[in-house]
Amino acid sequence: MSKGPFFAQTLVPLAELRPLMARSNKPAVRQIFGSVLALSGAGMLVWAARDSWLVWPAMFTMGLIWVHLFAAQHECAHRTAFRSMRANNWLAWVCGALIMVPALHFRYEHTAHHTHTNLIGQDSELIPMPATFPAYFWYLSGLPYWASNGLGILRRSIGKLTGEEIGFIPTAWRRRVIWESRVLLVLYAAAGLAIATGAYALLFYWVIPLLLGQPVMRFIRMTEHVGCAHERDPARNTRSTRVAWPWQFLAWNMNFHGEHHLSPLVPFHALPALNRLLQGQIPVRKGYIGGHREIWGSLRSGKGPVC
């Protein structure tokens, strides 16, 4: 899944880094319990506000929690959430199904992302720097995300892989990736049919919240690499941000994104400790807004990377 601790070794002695790479089930169990509790609470808000305009902020709140299931899926894709590979795979699949990110496809796409982080033409997850503010807001709308993911599932379900996908999905796994899309397509079709025949709970507790919450996830994802240098140095091609505890909890500490790219083998719960060991060698922005200020500055000036 990753290049291992080698980047971090240049900044932190291996003797100090190695203990941080230990796997533990407890932090992930706490995270999952917290997410389920938060989803339940948000669902109660939606139910309580169902006959009022307040249902919209309630659904937005629920959507923020739904879209952050991506953080759980991401950690499981690295096989660092649990000691058990099976537990990582199952949670990644469930979370991915709920947010329309096929787990197996994402695992291999994300491997390519870590191998070629922010390199134009090589990084399979590269989010291009918007050329204009309208393009910036179009990306933040989440519509390109839903179109890309939905059409990707549909295309792979009929057995078609792009040249890029053929490049990062091992031959032995391509058939499984195709079948993964077929299974998800059936599940989404069944959900759509259920909604059409009166199961509106799926609409108000899942679909609409996801649509409302996705722009926030796009806003967060942009802070990770957009506008950063197109080179291999993780200290230059990735941003870290310091955010309030609720955001850090929802993100499974992925706001420490530079630290994660320095050593992807370090589990999420140890990233704050890695940040402390680095002692400022990785710049940390103040909040997600800090990253976007750099993006806005680059958009206004028309200059190159700002990281």
User: Hey, what long-range contacts does 137-140 have (CB within 8 A, 24 or more apart)?
Assistant: 139/218, 139/222, 140/215, 140/218, 140/219, 140/222
| Residues pairing with 241 in the sheet | 285
pLDDT at position 5, please? 43
Domain count, the chain: 1
Q: Is residue 1 part of a domain?
A: no
Q: Is residue 305 part of a domain?
A: no
**pLDDT tens for the chain, residues 1 to 307:** 444 444 656 778 888 889 999 999 999 999 999 999 999 999 999 999 999 999 999 999 999 999 999 999 999 999 999 999 999 999 999 999 999 999 999 999 999 999 999 999 999 999 999 999 999 999 999 999 999 999 999 999 999 999 999 999 999 999 999 999 999 999 999 999 999 999 999 999 999 999 999 999 999 999 999 999 999 888 889 999 999 999 999 999 999 999 999 999 999 999 999 999 988 788 889 999 999 999 999 898 877 666 6
| Residues pairing with 242 in the sheet | 286
**What is the separation, in whole angstroms, between the first and last Cα of the chain?**
25
Instruction: State if pTM tops 0.85.
Output: yes
Q: Is residue 265 part of a domain?
A: yes
Q: Is residue 307 part of a domain?
A: no
Q: Is residue 104 part of a domain?
A: yes
Q: Is residue 294 part of a domain?
A: yes
Domain span at residue 221 reads 6-300
Q: Is residue 306 part of a domain?
A: no
Task: Give the integer Cα–Cα distance in Å for 223 and 127.
Answer: 10
Question: How many Cβ atoms from other residues are within 10 Å of residue 223's Cβ?
Answer: 25
Burial degree of 15 (CB within 10 A; 0-12, 13-18, 19+): exposed
Tokens of 260: 């994660």
Task: Give the integer Cα–Cα distance in Å for 236 and 225.
Answer: 9
**Got the DSSP string for the chain?**
---TTHHHHTTS-HHHHGGGG---SHHHHHHHHHHHHHHHHHHHHHHHTTTSTTHHHHHHHHHHHHHTHHHHHHHHHTT-S-S-HHHHHHHHHHHHHHHT--HHHHHHHHHHHHHTTT-TTT-TT--PPPSSHHHHHHHHTSHHHHHHHHHHHHHHHTT---HHHHHHS-GGGHHHHHHHHHHHHHHHHHHHHHHHTT-HHHIIIIIHHHHHHHHHHHHHHHHHHTTS-SSS-HHHH--EEE--HHHHHHTTTTT-HHHHHH-TTS-GGGHHHHHHHHTTSS-EEEHHHHHHHHHHHHHHH--S---
